[in-house]
Structure 1
Amino acid sequence: MAQTRAVMPSKFLPLADELLEVTGVNDYSTLISVLLSRYGEHLKQTWNMANLAPSPQPTTDHFAAPTADHFSTEPPVLTGF
């Protein structure tokens, strides 16, 4: 079997160490193999899904302070009793 060396940034070592403990595998190479075998296809299929949904457009109208016409001095009408 061909092998390739991968270098992991040190910021991921704490998570990798936790995953070693959770999965019971003995080394980072095996951990990477487990991650690829279990989640690789899912990652390929979903990588660009975020780009398919339209981006929400920011609006400010729902943050506007209420004006006098938003308030009524009339009592509410209760129906359906």
Structure 2
Amino acid sequence: HKGESHISYRGRKRLRYVLYEAAISLIARNTEFKEIHRYYQTRGKNSLKKMQSVIAVACKALRIFYAILTKGVTYDGAKMLQDIKRPQLKVA
């Protein structure tokens, strides 16, 4: 891993395009994926630009689809949102 922030051009071009379009659709229509996208863009440390965030959402969606197909689990948006590390509010 070289830490580059762009999508690789290896593999099938059409598949990358379909994953990108699926991520755009998920961000527009699914509240959990929209929240993940917003988190990637606004997190304090290592925030991502819009296109980088869309690619990160596409990778996350691909991992979720793979788990659903191989393990037979159902989609749980609340479980997916547990990946977001929110700072705890300090009470004075």
TM-score class, shorter: 0.3 to 0.5
**What is the TM-score when the length of structure 2 is the normalising length?**
0.33
**Which has the higher relative contact order, 1 or 2, with Cα contacts under 8 A spaced 6 or more apart?**
2
**What is the TM-score when the length of structure 1 is the normalising length?**
0.36
Q: Which has the higher helix share?
A: 2
* Structure with max Cα Rg: 1
